[in-house]
Amino acid sequence: MRGMIWARWTLALGAAALLAVGCGGSDGDEPSGGDGGVDAGKGCLADNDCDDGNACTLDRCVVGYCTNAVVPDADAKEQTPGDCKKVVCTKGQPTLVNDDGDVFDDGEQCTQDSCLNGAPVHTAKLEGSKCVVGKGTGKCTKGQCLVLCSLLSPADVCDDENSCTDDACLPCDLPECGASGKCNHVGLSGMPTPGVSQTEGDCKERRCDNGKDVDAADPFDVPDDGVECTVGICSASGLPVNEPLPAGTSCSGSWVCDGKGKCVQCVANSDCTSSGSGTCSTATCEAGSCTSAYVPSGTPLPASEQVAGDCRVLVCNGSGSTTYQADPLDLPNDNNPCTSDQCVGTSAQHSYMPAGTSCGSGMVCNQFGSCCTPTTCAAQNRSCGTLSDGCGTTLNCGTCDPGDTCSGGQCGCKNGFKSGTETGIDCGGVCPKCALGLTCLAGSDCASGFCADGVCCNAACTGTCQACTSNRTGMTTGTCANVTTGTDPDNECPATAASTCGTTGMCGGGGCQMHASGTVCKAASCVGGTHYAADTCNGAGQCVVGAETACSSPYTCAGAACQTCSDGIKNGTEADVDCGSSASCSKCVNGKTCSAAADCASGFCVDGRCCNTACSGTCQRCNLAGNLGTCTPSPAGTDPDNECVGNKTCNGAGQCT
């Protein structure tokens, strides 16, 4: 295939020399061997790093070191294909013997490949035999396939379908070519095989070598396993290896590599200084993780972490945390000169100093542990009774006149509030009498001599429906007045039925209120054609009899009233509701029932209904549903008045047919 200019050329052309490393010796036909373990004990990453050049040993990399074990006697596992020989192992020593079955294929289809006495032989096939090279068909000529071509040949006639050859049609001076050219294929070398997908990270490159696609070593095609603590390299034997980064290399932010390919929290104690340590623990690194070693129990914490005056000392508890122990020397101080500060176990206690203990210039301690300046009766405006001076001493401030009482440090009749036998503030009882409107228990408490409704009043105020307080009368408290109309605060007025015309149960006008004038005390009635009007109260406690009236003829009683032409009921001699008859009722309108023309405003009573006309024609009616009071032809097929003779009936148009 004709070559192209490729964008990428290998950076390690020199590495191709590695392909020359084989299993045999360096100079002769005999394979190397005999020592069976020249690489034993050498450091390694993979099995290929331990190749000792002896086909009769099993080379392994075990825990980073090489081992080379002798294989059982047999043909060696590693052979050079196509060299007409084979390696035979005997006690770990390789021997090279002829193998005519190990034929080398020279890649030329016009030769017969074989081995003779351990050497490859390639015999030319019969001249003119058909042969095929890629897409071109030719004939065998002197052991080679000759494919002819010309300018008129298809473009791909010389395509041997080998990516590592440069294909062309060249002039030919062989007699077999005649006037045609011949296909020529020049092997390419040292470039990536065109059209082949490369495998990333396998330390190899598909590369052309003398016209052949080979898998060549590429030390720059390193692997990447995605692990941050490894780096991809190609080993000395050309294998991809992810080698651990040195221990201590930073990873995942603040973590480090452990030298074995893992990212861990730590590899040394110094990596744990920022976590896992404290006053009662020290950070250590164990198996890649930071842990804590605990400070012995009872070790006090530094003074900077202690609280002064709490009767305790903060110590380590042996588990990395802290606890408290009692410290009787760590005395509290409440800055109060009237208390004695001491420790009881781990609790602070402040006991009061004895009352009267000096605590400053002119000041003493009281019984409650406060430092104070003693007070006096005069300073507290006290003129009677006893008083604590606020500092533990009781003072006697004096006594009151006989019958008076001491309250709040003042004698009762002068202390500004109700006390002792007083009925009001500083009045009543043994004190001066109270003015109008002030509270009292008896007339003797009042300057007026009258105590009504619990207040001093200007009068005895004993009349019915009278009171002396504003909430009952609406007047000034202390003034006797009538109780507010419609109320009865003292329940003085009995409540009677309206039929008695007596009291309502409420006050009004300085006495008990009567049922109002016009209140019905006996309901109206109608008996035997006579109507009796309702009896009503006169407002003075009497029930006045109502008038008697005879019902107008021809009407009589209907319940408690007389029948009339306007009661909405058909009664008396009325032809219909409130119309007709010989009474004084109005005449009935068309459509109303009637018994005679005199009942109707139209003057026509036809078929029992007031009608708009005399309606005397044949087959006419005035009582048809939907047309009451209007003269209308009788429905077809009927003859309600038997007006039609024979088999005839009304036709709906006022005729018999």
Partner residues linked to 650 by β-bridges: 656
What is the mean pLDDT of the segment spanning 101-125? 90
Is 459 a domain residue? no
Q: Is the pLDDT of residue 543 over 90?
A: yes
Closest residue by Cα to residue 142 from 108, 193, 99, 91: 108
Q: Is the pLDDT of residue 503 over 50?
A: yes
First-to-final CA distance of the chain: 124
Using a cut of 0.85, tell me whether the model's pTM lies above it. Answer: no
Express each pLDDT in 406-424 by its tens digit.
Answer: 777 777 787 788 887 889 9
Number of helices and strands in the chain (H, E): 1, 52
- Nearest 5°: phi and psi at 388? -80, 135
Residues 234 and 206 in one domain: no
Give the 3-state DSSP-derived string for 371-397, with helices as H, strands as E and coil as C: EECCCCCCCCCCCCCEEECCCCCEEEC
Express each pLDDT in 10-62 by its tens digit.
Answer: 222 222 222 233 333 333 344 444 444 556 678 887 888 888 889 899 989 88
Q: Which of 6-20, 365-379, 434-448 has the highest mean pLDDT?
A: 434-448
Residues 109 and 174 in one domain: yes
Query: Distances from the Cα of 319 to the Cαs of 83, 271, 281, in angstroms?
Result: 75, 22, 8
Express each pLDDT in 444-454 by its tens digit.
Answer: 999 999 999 99
Q: Is the pLDDT of residue 72 over 60?
A: yes
Residues 125 and 81 in one domain: yes
Average pLDDT along the chain: 86
Torsion of CA 271, 276, 282, 284, to 10 degrees: -40
Partner residues linked to 156 by β-bridges: none
Question: What is the pLDDT at residue 389?
Answer: 80
What is the per-residue DSSP string for 488-548? -TT--S-B--GGGT-EEEEEETTEEEEPPTT-EEE--EEETTEEEPPEEE-SSS-EEPPPE
Is 400 a domain residue? no
Tokens found for residue 465: 């429906």
The answer to whether 14 and 205 have CB atoms below 8 angstroms apart is no
Residue 211 makes CB contacts below 8 A (sequence gap 6+) with: 162, 164, 165, 185, 186, 187, 188, 189
Q: Is the pLDDT of residue 2 over 90?
A: no
What is the per-residue DSSP string for 643-654? -S-TT--B-SSS
For residue 414, give the DSSP letter: G
Q: Is the pLDDT of residue 312 over 90?
A: yes
In whole angstroms, give the CA distance from residue 453 to residue 476.
13
Q: Which residues of 509-526 are buried (b: 16+ CB within 10 A; e: fewer)?
A: eebbbbbeeebebbeeeb
Number of domains in the chain: 5
What is the mean pLDDT of the segment spanning 320-337? 90
What is the mean pLDDT of the segment spanning 228-250? 91
Residues 5 and 121 in one domain: yes
Express each pLDDT in 586-601 by its tens digit.
Answer: 999 999 999 999 999 9
Is 59 a domain residue? no
Residues 527 and 624 in one domain: no
Residues 131 and 209 in one domain: yes
Closest residue by Cα to residue 132 from 155, 162, 152: 162
Q: Is the pLDDT of residue 87 over 90?
A: yes
Residues 176 and 289 in one domain: no
Is 9 a domain residue? yes
Residues 585 and 633 in one domain: yes
Residue 586 makes CB contacts below 8 A (sequence gap 6+) with: 565, 578, 579, 601
The answer to whether 240 and 219 have CB atoms below 8 angstroms apart is no
Residues 109 and 140 in one domain: yes
What is the mean pLDDT of the segment spanning 603-615? 94
Residues 22 and 90 in one domain: yes
Torsion of CA 366, 369, 373, 378, to 10 degrees: -50
Is 43 a domain residue? no
- Nearest 5°: phi and psi at 177? -80, -25
Percentage above 90 pLDDT, the chain? 48
Residues 237 and 318 in one domain: no
Residues 307 and 279 in one domain: yes
Residue 345 makes CB contacts below 8 A (sequence gap 6+) with: 311, 326
Domain boundary among 288, 303, 326: 326
CB hemisphere CA count around 28 (13 angstroms): 6
Is 91 a domain residue? yes
Question: What is the pLDDT at residue 274?
Answer: 54
Is 507 a domain residue? no
Is 415 a domain residue? no
Domain boundary among 562, 592, 616: 562
Express each pLDDT in 246-269 by its tens digit.
Answer: 999 999 888 999 999 999 999 998
What is the mean pLDDT of the segment spanning 361-366? 86
The answer to whether 556 and 529 have CB atoms below 8 angstroms apart is yes
Range of lowest pLDDT (17-26, 307-316, 437-446): 17-26
Domain region containing 628:
576-657
